[in-house]
A and B are shown apart, each in its own frame.
Chain A
Amino acid sequence: MKRKDFLIATGSGLAVVANTEHVFARALAQTPLPGLPGSSDRCLVLINLFGGNDGLNCVVPHGDARYYQLRPGLAIDRNDVLPIDAHTGFNSAMRTLKSLYDKGVVAVVQGVGYPNPDHSHFRSTEIWQTAAPDRYEHTGWLGRYFDDSSPNVPNLFRGVAISRVLPEVMISQRTDVPAVPALGQYTLAADREAASRDAFAQGSRDRRLPFSSPYLAHVMEVEGDAQRSSEELPRLVAGYTPKASYPATVIGRSLALAAQIIGSKLGTRAIYVEHGSFDTHVNQKVVQTRLLGQFSDAIGAFYQDLAAHGNDRRVLTLTFSEFGRRIEENGSRGTDHGEASPLFLIGGGVKGGLYGTLPDLAATNMGNVRYSVDFRSVYATVLERWLGRPSTAVLGGAFAKLPVLV
């Protein structure tokens, strides 16, 4: 039985649906093996903390004297850290995330990176999104997951990017992912004679043109998808009412839309959200504190909303950032581009706790934190244990899974 049929068959009232859903999802979330029906109801929310989030001031090694020596003007004061244990704690701006951590639904994986790290935003972002550190790859790891998991399934919303530019992580061979910066902007304006409505639909499919362009096929395809998805998306999500008060920030609005899409059950398997910029070469404390606070507060509202609709166990949130930053502060109350950094997995399916290795501030790679967990291990874990797909083909190799999911 398809998930949708199940709901229709059992749910006579909203409360019943929500309740059934919750129990159903919980049972599925606890099923540890890939390929089981539960995985088809799950969604991954991938948050790009772009610009290079400084890991050491995010997940703070407050038990390490060297941290305070190397960052005399920038270290987070011991008294301000929200401690996890005697060595590690959260940045003081992340109270909400810390309270979720205390509830056991946040995994912190430290020391995530890849071999021969690149210090360019551009290339390193590409590496994280394509999962290909050693070659130039034009599809993203989630794009390849879409293609691999069900090629030619005509669902316009298997992936949704809440951004203006389609992120490389969702670029694929066969699956068009709508880039929806905000719902209000995702509607074709009407004109008096409805010419604009027809504009995309008709004529645009005829390829008998007196020129050939490498971009023609893409334009035609996206025009068609844009027309259909812009008609369908606002209608499909219209019945959803948020049950949390989201902060009035970009990340707040983005996660509110993510919850709405998830709650509307469109078959969406992955949603991309971005937040930043974390490129704190100067004045880091002010900028990063504000951004981490915005992130933490938005996540709090997001899971409150998801839980109120019984969706919290359906959703796994994963963060990434192109790199961490230099251990030693620079002369501008900031930090330069670095290497390994921590990431977060959040959700009802997460086995909360600290994973990976503590950052070693003595044995460094030219002043940068060395990586101990390959980022593709995190992706492999998410693909196999959350989305229920084999990861080897998607990632171009086999990577150890982490025990971060229940």
Chain B
Amino acid sequence: MAAQTHTDVGGILRPQGHLDLATALAPYESALGERAAAHLLRRAGFGGTPDDVRRFAAMTAHEAVAQLMKFPSAQSIAPPQALADFEQGSYTGKARGREGRRTVVAMQEWWLDRMLSGPAPLQEKMTLYFHGHFTSRATPRFAWITYNQNAIFRRYALGNLRELTREVSKDPAMLLYLNGAQNVAAHPNENYARELMELFTLGVDAYGERDVRGSARAWTGWQVNRRAGTSAFDASLHDDGRKTFLGRTGNFTGDDIVNLIFEQPQCARFFAASLLNWFVYNDPEPELVERVAAQLRAHDFELSPVVATILRSNVFYSERAYRALVKSPVEFVIGTYKTLGLSSVDAGALPALIQMGQHLFYPPSVAGWPGGQNWITSGTMIARQNFLTQLLGSQTLENSSWLRGLPLSASAAANDVAQRILQGDAAPATLAQLNGYLAGAGTAALAALSTENYDQRIRGAANLAMASPAYQLN
């Protein structure tokens, strides 16, 4: 059996239809138009405002992706103020736990705001990708550690995968989460060694138990200073004996382990499948995976050229990829604020994300969020709908411009709502429902759209459009 990727999770579905392998990764040459522009903005970021969609619609894929790949420098990104305040407080005991949790909440909101209105949505999208890939849980009492890992992901957003893997392996957040800090020569702890191969770089079936034990020994010696938020290598705790790993023998260190893993043909395949799953569609064909893997190898695991190729490719803009993913809760929530023209999240975002099943900095397991069909259960659908009802009924929305400027005619307003929220992906019955709702048909209590009920009614129409099945899909 071929080595497996994370697509083995149940509920991860490949689109129907035929893959044109020969042209799949060739550049998409047509002008984008609103539909493809909205698709690109959803996938490479968290959606766009109706204005963003119009602006990108006029570009070619090449131009649009070049725009999206302009990232601010790492130095220019200031950490959330709450972290400095937390540091200043020098809390101990219970207060430290409480203030630390508060700080994590501030970091979650800070990150959501960057996704929503920061200068580089693709950078945040890749940061989110790595957060779900190289999973770690928050350490509220040492909140800087959680922030620093997030900053590494942001710094490597389109950087080198091998270097990122080396760096994240030795970073305090990972050393704490997967017990690298407890992995010492006298008593190896295998937790990180296993997950590094299984979930982060190779997939199950690509290694054996002896490789886990060899790798664990190679990683011994990395220690964490929680207070300082730093890690350091302590040679006295390192096992510098000979280890056997993936068929090779030597006095390996952790860096050697990463290098040996990245020499495996399976490693490029693993990341290729993972990137295709993230950007294009789920359970990509092995042939397509192999093409992207070849690109990763050719570029020595530099992400920038490979992600650019994917986002400019025919397969990315193909009908098979269109709405072929399920919106994650973060995509759903941030995309909704964005679509409505809001520039910061309100207090409803975090509790809603938790109820929808995506609590940032608290992935459900070391495997991250399973995605696909797993996002959609009756419980999470109710949470999605309740988030919409709350947001669309709230004061927050008074800052949204376009909802106020729609025509007063019910049918024209219905079309506008459907176009701006769904880019034409409304079934006839959904359109009829919107139309009927705005026209006040069928329900005695509702009058037709008018200046008196305008605000209320347009919000209701947006709610209806966002509850439609197409809106759950990315």
Q: A residues bordering B, Cβ < 8 Å?
A: 50, 118-123, 126, 130, 136, 138-139, 161, 164-166, 168, 171, 176, 178-181, 185-193, 195-196, 198-200, 202-216, 218-220, 222-223, 225-226, 229-230, 277, 281-282, 330-332, 334, 336-337, 366
Contacts and interface: CB of A to CB of B under 8 A. Distances in A.
B11 A138 contact: yes
Nearest to A332: B182
B281 to A, nearest CB: 8
Interface in B353-408: 355, 357, 364-367, 370, 372-374, 376-383, 385-386, 388-390, 392-393
Given A212-B16, A215-B326, A366-B209, A223 B367 contact: no
A218 B179 contact: no
A-B pairs with lowest CB-CB distance, top 7: A331-B187, A199-B467, A206-B429, A332-B182, A195-B460, A206-B427, A179-B377
A215 B282 CA distance: 10
Contacts of A211: 319, 322-323, 425, 470
Interface string B431-468: 11110010000000110000000001100110110011
Contacts of A330: 182, 187-189
Given A120-B204, A191-B392, A214-B16, A209 B433 contact: no
A393 to B, nearest CB: 19
A228 B42 CA distance: 30
B164 interface: no
B237 to A, nearest CB: 10
Interface in B241-268: none
Nearest to B432: A203
B101 to A, nearest CB: 17
A189 B386 contact: yes
Interface stretch (B86-94, B106-114, B191-199, B286-294): B191-199
Contacts of B355: 164, 181, 185
B463 to A, nearest CB: 5
A214 B14 contact: yes
Given A166-B377, A331-B182, 8 more contacts: A119-B212, A188-B385, A198-B433, A204-B468, A206-B430, A212-B319, A216-B470, A331-B184
Interface of B: 4, 8-11, 13-17, 179, 182, 184, 186-191, 194, 198-199, 204, 209, 212, 281-282, 319, 322-326, 355, 357, 364-367, 370, 372-374, 376-383, 385-386, 388-390, 392-393, 424-434, 437, 445-446, 456-457, 460-461, 463-464, 467-470, 472-473
A340 to B, nearest CB: 16
A193 B457 CA distance: 8
Contact of B386 (A121, A188, A204): A188
Nearest to B192: A281
Nearest to B446: A193
Contact of B10 (A168, A176, A216): A168
Contacts of B199: 122
Nearest to B436: A202
B380 A179 contact: yes
24 contacts: A120-B198, A122-B198, A122-B367, A136-B4, A171-B10, A180-B378, A185-B383, A186-B382, A188-B382, A189-B385, A191-B392, A195-B460, A198-B433, A199-B467, A202-B429, A203-B432, A203-B433, A214-B15, A214-B282, A222-B377, A331-B188, A332-B182, A332-B187, A337-B194
Given A164-B357, A165-B357, A195-B437, A230 B377 contact: no
Contacts of A218: 373, 376
A281 B179 contact: yes
Contacts of A216: 323, 469-470, 473
Contacts of B383: 185
Given A195-B437, A212-B16, A337 B190 contact: yes
A165 B376 contact: no
B174 to A, nearest CB: 13
Contact of B204 (A118, A181, A223, A226): A118
Contact of B463 (A136, A195, A215): A195
B382 A185 contact: yes
Contacts of A215: 13, 324-326, 372-373, 376, 472-473
B433 to A, nearest CB: 4
Given A118-B204, A226-B378, A331-B184, A336 B198 contact: no
Contacts of A161: 377
A187 B376 contact: no
A168 B430 CA distance: 32
A226 B382 contact: yes
A191 B382 contact: no
Nearest to B466: A199
Contacts of A229: 378
A49 B473 CA distance: 33
B209 A226 contact: no
B459 to A, nearest CB: 8
Contacts of A334: 179, 182, 189
A336 B191 contact: yes
B379 A193 contact: no
Contacts of A189: 385-386, 389-390
Contacts of B425: 209-211
A380 B339 CA distance: 51
A176 B388 CA distance: 24
Contact of A164 (B379, B461, B463): B379
B364 A282 contact: no
A210 B424 contact: yes
Given A185-B382, A214-B282, A281 B182 contact: yes
B430 A203 contact: yes
Contacts of A210: 424-425
**Which of B186, B374, B424 gathers the greatest number of chain A CB atoms within 10 Å?**
B374
A207 B15 contact: no
B176 to A, nearest CB: 10
Contacts of A213: 15, 322-324, 473
Nearest to B14: A214
A179 B14 contact: no
Contacts of B282: 214
Given A196-B389, A203-B429, A165 B377 contact: yes
A201 to B, nearest CB: 9
A350 B282 CA distance: 44
A339 to B, nearest CB: 11
A210 to B, nearest CB: 6
Given A164-B380, A188-B382, A202 B433 contact: yes
Contacts of A214: 13-16, 281-282, 324
A192 B379 contact: no
